[in-house]
């Protein structure tokens, strides 16, 4: 076992973190000069623990909290909606509540759906110091062991919905009929009073027949049905939460109560409504568009949902509206996460400029912001995926004899892709069975630096 001098250790760590491309130390040890080989050596020597993940570093994602001064909300005219019940519904432990929902009965067979979003753009105008830093990050970085915000924690505390008795918001309203059609849409600056709930608490209210949860669910079902008639794809694959620290990692399935889908549908409607409002008023936005799926996949099995997801083209963001075929919408904009996604913040900045009677960013300027932020956000999302896989492998390695339920979701020749629903984890495996086959597997040879693991069919009767 070689011992490294402090200088050698620094050199190897820089390579493992993707901060330099060569390492004389690895070369002298006849090891490949790769980040993976450097990572393996650091693990072998005990310099790094298995909890250490280098992926955000390698992908140049910011790993330090943003610490800039946050202004106060300036006095301005807002629509007072504090008389309406409003609910911010999130996973337990959520610390950045930036959207909330409510309804208002307005007669003539119409229900006004309100989606309120934290008015982040009131505190982060275009090209301010906060805006430039947020653009450089692209999105909040959610890792299993820490969260690095796109914006300062102080801003989240100041603007988060339900963190104070009343909160400023940018609110999108859609007047919906019983079939989910919108009779009118509007966007206003408002003041709201928000109650925070977990999904399980909201689900209990729905099952008890309480309002506005029953009406929200009815509107969401009608909207979903309408979008499906326009070609929206249904993709239902397992989702999990991954948490980790120095002691170990944990993975558990994410519950999917109906209220989770209800809130997601309301957020989709808000994006549709904001896009309609912007198009009607000729406001340039980063509209989200998506081409037709590459092919049609029918069925409701895991393998069908897996195949259907693979038909989706990448969502593109552009200054002019276009259809989003995966959602079954003629136009769409992401608008409900301005604390966490930079392009949502740009949508807010543009809408707010129009509402304030000032000039929004031009399409040309906005397009440059889109390109920069999307590049940075892509690195953030990739770092999240790799870090989750790393810690899932730690969770697997800690249970070497465990037998896992699995499903073959795809195959190419002799090689199949096997999905373990309980982990939302897929792995290649050689097996002759067709897609859709259920089987039991065991794992061996977990390799964290290379992010690999070997899957084999579980032995039914080890004693035989």
Check residue 462 and give its pLDDT.
47
User: Could you tell me if 324 and 425 lie in one domain?
Assistant: no
User: Could you tell me if 137 and 11 lie in one domain?
Assistant: no
Check residue 1 and give its pLDDT.
63
- The answer to whether residue 55 is domain-embedded is no
User: Could you tell me if 259 and 194 lie in one domain?
Assistant: yes
Strand partners, 405: 440
- The answer to whether residue 64 is domain-embedded is no
Task: List the chain pLDDT tens, one digit each, 464 residues.
Answer: 678 999 999 999 999 999 999 999 999 999 999 999 999 999 999 999 999 999 999 999 999 999 999 999 999 999 999 999 999 999 888 888 999 999 999 988 899 999 999 999 999 999 999 999 999 999 999 999 999 999 999 999 999 999 999 999 999 999 999 898 999 999 999 999 999 999 999 999 999 999 999 999 999 999 999 999 999 998 999 999 999 999 999 999 999 999 999 999 999 999 999 999 999 999 999 999 999 988 889 899 999 999 999 999 999 999 999 999 999 999 999 999 999 999 999 999 999 999 999 999 999 999 998 899 998 999 999 999 999 999 999 999 999 999 999 999 999 888 999 999 999 999 999 999 999 999 999 999 999 999 999 999 997 654 43
Give the CATH number, domain containing residue 36: 1.10.10.10
Consecutive H or E run containing 214: helix 213-229
- The answer to whether residue 70 is domain-embedded is no
SS3 225: helix
What is the domain range of residue 423?
399-457
- The answer to whether residue 72 is domain-embedded is no
User: Could you tell me if 332 and 419 lie in one domain?
Assistant: no
- The answer to whether residue 16 is domain-embedded is yes
Check residue 294 and give its pLDDT.
85
Q: Are 143 and 151 in contact, with CB atoms under 8 Å apart?
A: no
Pure H helices in 230-341: 258-280, 302-310
Q: What is the CA radius of gyration of the chain?
A: 24
User: Could you tell me if 414 and 383 lie in one domain?
Assistant: no
- The answer to whether residue 444 is domain-embedded is yes
Check residue 3 and give its pLDDT.
86
Check residue 461 and give its pLDDT.
57
Check residue 295 and give its pLDDT.
87
User: Could you tell me if 128 and 43 lie in one domain?
Assistant: no
- Whole-angstrom CA distances from 286 to 196, 228, 289, 315 are 29, 24, 9, 11
Q: Give the CB-side neighbour count of residue 432, counting CA atoms within 13 A.
A: 0
- Whole-angstrom CA distances from 122 to 76, 332, 353, 376 are 10, 23, 10, 23
- The answer to whether residue 53 is domain-embedded is no
Provide the domain count of the chain: 3
User: Could you tell me if 381 and 453 lie in one domain?
Assistant: no
User: Could you tell me if 187 and 219 lie in one domain?
Assistant: yes
User: Could you tell me if 375 and 342 lie in one domain?
Assistant: yes
Give the CATH number, domain containing residue 406: 2.40.50.140
User: Could you tell me if 244 and 280 lie in one domain?
Assistant: yes
User: Could you tell me if 28 and 168 lie in one domain?
Assistant: no
Check residue 464 and give its pLDDT.
39
User: Could you tell me if 273 and 384 lie in one domain?
Assistant: yes
- The answer to whether residue 462 is domain-embedded is no
- Whole-angstrom CA distances from 341 to 120, 149, 150, 336, 454 are 11, 10, 7, 9, 36
């Amino acid at each position: 076992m070689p011992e490294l001098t402090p200088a050698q250790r620094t050199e190897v760590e820089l390579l493992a973190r993707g901060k330099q491309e060569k390492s004389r130390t690895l070369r002298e040890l006849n090891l490949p000069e790769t980040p993976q080989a450097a990572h393996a050596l650091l693990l072998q020597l005990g310099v790094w623990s298995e909890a250490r993940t280098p992926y955000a570093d390698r992908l140049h994602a910011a790993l330090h909290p943003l610490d800039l001064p946050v202004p106060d909300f300036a006095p301005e005219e807002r629509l007072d909606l504090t008389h309406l019940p409003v609910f911010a519904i999130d996973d337990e432990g959520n610390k950045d509540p930036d959207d909330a929902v409510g309804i208002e009965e307005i007669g003539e067979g119409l229900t006004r759906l309100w989606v309120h979003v934290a008015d982040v753009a009131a505190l982060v105008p275009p090209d301010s110091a906060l805006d430039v830093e947020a653009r450089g990050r692209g999105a909040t970085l959610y890792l299993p062991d820490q969260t690095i915000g796109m914006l300062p924690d102080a801003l989240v505390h100041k603007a988060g919905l339900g963190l104070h008795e009343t909160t400023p918001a940018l609110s999108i309203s859609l007047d919906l009929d019983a079939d989910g059609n919108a009779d009118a849409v509007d966007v206003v600056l408002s003041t709201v009073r928000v109650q925070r709930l977990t999904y399980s608490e909201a689900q209990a209210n729905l099952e008890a027949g309480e309002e506005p949860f029953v009406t929200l669910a009815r509107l969401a079902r009608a909207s979903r049905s309408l979008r499906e008639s326009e070609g929206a794809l249904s993709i239902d694959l397992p989702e999990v939460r991954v948490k980790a620290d120095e002691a170990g990692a944990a993975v558990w399935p994410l519950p999917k109560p109906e209220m989770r889908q209800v809130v997601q549908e309301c957020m989709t409607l808000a994006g549709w409504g904001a896009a309609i409002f912007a198009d009607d008023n000729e406001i340039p936005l980063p509209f989200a568009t998506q081409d037709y799926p590459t092919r049609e996949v029918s069925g409701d099995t895991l393998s069908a949902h897996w195949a259907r997801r693979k038909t989706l083209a990448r969502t593109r963001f552009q200054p002019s509206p276009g259809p989003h075929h995966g959602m079954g919408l003629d136009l769409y904009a992401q608008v409900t996460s301005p604390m966490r996604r930079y392009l949502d913040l740009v949508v807010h900045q543009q809408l707010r400029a129009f509402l304030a009677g000032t000039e929004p960013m031009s399409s040309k300027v906005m397009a440059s912001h889109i390109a920069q932020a999307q590049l940075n956000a892509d690195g953030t999302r990739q770092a999240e995926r790799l870090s989750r896989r790393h810690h899932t492998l730690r969770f697997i390695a800690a249970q070497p004899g465990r037998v896992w339920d699995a499903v073959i979701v795809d195959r190419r020749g002799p090689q199949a892709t096997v999905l373990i629903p309980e982990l939302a984890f897929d792995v290649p495996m050689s097996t002759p069975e067709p897609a859709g086959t259920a089987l039991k597997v065991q794992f061996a040879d977990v390799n964290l630096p290379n992010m690999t693991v070997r899957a084999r069919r579980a032995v039914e009767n080890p004693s035989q």
